[in-house]
Chains A and B, each alone.
Chain A
Amino acid sequence: MSKSLLHLQCPLPKFDFDIITLAHGSGGLLTNKLLESGVFDLLKNDELDKHHDGAILELNGKVAFSTDSFVISPVFFPGGDIGELAVNGTVNDVAMCGAIPKYLSLSFILEEGLPMKEFWEILVSIKYATEKAGVRIVTGDTKVVDKGKGDKIFINTTGIGEMHPQADIALTRVKVGDKIIVSDSIATHGISILSVRQGLEFETTIESDTRNLNDMTLKLLDAFGTQIHLFRDPTRGGVAATLNEIARDAHLGIELNDTHIPVLSQVKAACEILGLDPLYTANEGVFMAIVAPEIAEGVVEILHTFDEAKHAAIIGEVVAEHNGQVLISNAMGGKRVVHMPVGEQLPRIC
């Protein structure tokens, strides 16, 4: 949804201040005003309306629970902002457990001086992201720190979801012969952030792919249940870090086929120019599924019915050899090790 449309639907309420001040986090009058005339109204739901210290929730059966903090810079980037990211990130972590995300907590650490308009834009993004993902914000907190002690806005979200009745997602279920599937083109988010952070200008804008993934994971669980052995979202460290963790912890080998890994051509070109490897670049709106070989094609078929998973593909498989290592074969027939990344990727000289 375009930002202008969001503004049209959610005009900035009248606040006494143009910027966030320390008093907005004091717990006193200004905090109340900020919450009453803004946050509570916008994110309105039965649980939040009670204005209690915490939320009392109804949940059935087993519960999945996850938390994440968001400190991204810049807070607005092509294709999204920190608010949308904070909702989708935690919703996706809960979805990766095989659960149906239900409720979120939302905590802000605001830096003094943050323009109220930007805070409002982020809140509006949060509202739409929760609606799209089908979750409710039921509790939260706001703190303000001195100017210079934060980076505009930090957000923590915690999510709770009910386990899908047919889900049996666990690392111990990954077996030799399982197929590895990515839900869409990789590395788009990381390159999008880098392009704005470093002030790089490409001929085409590369937009972040931040999105909720629970609609896809639930549809797959409905269709294939326990034949889905693992879901993971390869965020920081990219596909390489996630697969290395799986290979190490499951004591199995992983083999990838370079030519099957979907990467948008503009992202691939940016990676070539900057000397970065898409395998190590962060993702937001992509997940990996490790599934029984007989359903792999079916999983890809279902994913292809979603606009946001048009490039889903089988990229490799789990093998009994080279325990703990991820190998990748390329078009030339050579194979190489895909290591666990050491730190952030650093762009090269020439």
Chain B
Amino acid sequence: MKHLTEYRDPELAKKVLAEIERTATQPWKIMEVCGGQTHSLVKNGILTVLPSHITMLHGPGCPVCVTPLHLIDKAVHLALEKKVILCSFGDMLRVPGSEKSLLEAKAEGADVRILYSPTEAVNIAKQNPDKEVVFFAVGFETTAPANALSVIHAEKLGLTNYSILNSHVLVPPAITALMEDSESSIDGFLAAGHVCSIMGYWEYFPLVEKYKIPIVVTGFEPLDLLQGILAVVKQLEQGKAEVENQYTRMVKEEGNAAAQQIIKQVYEVSDQMWRGIGTIPESGLRLKPEYQLYDANLKFKIDIVEVPENAECIAGFIMKGIKKPNECVHFGKKCNPQTPLGAPMVSSEGACAAYYNFSKIEI
């Protein structure tokens, strides 16, 4: 725990805060891309102690939130109708599909299992040769290597009863889409430390060049975040637009070569639908043709009628940083963790959940 308490030192935090205050001479809008960072900002009360002219915009970096609605419906269908053992990370279970969530499907008798690692799902497939096992493989670049590895393991073991329901998204194309959006007003980015621990930050050089915005790779602890914000503010005040790495204890420029190699072996880049945002070109990963045997989308014939999103949910605006969760008329009223209108209210990285769970707010 030593490395955690160090990065939560309140005295040091106050010093960095004071420096942010001294440095920022004008209003700046900074987006933290990752939902984990949003939660840390809110949970640690950083949003309430930042100078009022520094605005944090909460980005789309919540894998659960951007997983398309029809894919959740597919997972529910596979679990209930096709009687598969549906394995998933815990976050996905409460996310509402068009009719029901996986948690509700489980209550109706579906075999839905919460796992920490996709390779556990491969073990379940091995132990249950007469059952189909599907892993709901969602996430950013962070979870992609483990999901890819599960496919490689399944292949090595010769398993024919394992497949993944895949929805993988990539950060750099999302930053591009945000910068191209006419409503966007982002001055700088905190890049997600975990994603960069896999991918490095070489992908960001063309982005700072093109859009003239600072991007600072940032960790998740209070001091990480404050240092990241300070670095962005310094660059903005000096008229710079560079890639900087605050999270040096975890991130190298080139990233984790072995993990990237595994991603490359199994996946190829594809256009991807982001829930609430729309399709972003070349922003996702799909299984390569040689691994399509493991694609649950192709393996099972699933006839799902695509249902439009709940019009009352403004998740798209929230994930693009255009609106804050508490600016939604339904926040904390019609939409709450028991009866969510959209995914950001129930995902552990969702901005609405962060505001609901941790803010000192009157609801």
A: which residues have CB within 8 A of B?
198-200, 265, 268-269, 272, 274-275, 327, 330-337, 339, 342-343, 346-350
Contacts and interface: CB of A to CB of B under 8 A. Distances in A.
B358 A336 contact: yes
B311 interface: no
Nearest to A341: B337
B359 A337 contact: yes
B360 A332 contact: no
Given A346-B93, A347-B116, A332 B13 contact: yes
B143 A350 contact: yes
B94 interface: yes
A336 B44 CA distance: 8
Contacts of A331: 8-10
Contacts of A332: 8, 10, 13, 44-46, 49, 222
A349 B9 CA distance: 27
Contacts of B13: 332
B193 to A, nearest CB: 11
Interface in B3-54: 4, 8-10, 13, 36, 42-46, 48-49
A339 B116 CA distance: 25
Contacts of B44: 330, 332, 334
Nearest to A334: B45
B241 interface: no
Give the interface size bracket for B toward A.
35 or more
A330 B45 contact: yes
A123 B338 CA distance: 40
A348 B114 CA distance: 10
B46 A342 contact: no
A333 B45 contact: yes
B227 interface: no
Contacts of B8: 331-332
A349 B103 CA distance: 16
Contacts of A333: 10, 45, 49
A268 B114 CA distance: 21
A203 B361 CA distance: 39
B275 interface: no
Contacts of A342: 337-338
B89 A347 contact: yes
B49 to A, nearest CB: 7
A346 B90 contact: yes
A232 B296 CA distance: 48
A334 B46 contact: yes
Contact of B348 (A199, A265, A272, A349): A349
Nearest to A265: B1
B116 A200 contact: yes
Contacts of A268: 1
Given A200-B116, A274-B116, A350-B194, A335 B360 contact: yes
Contacts of B348: 275, 346, 348-349
A140 B64 CA distance: 48
A239 to B, nearest CB: 15
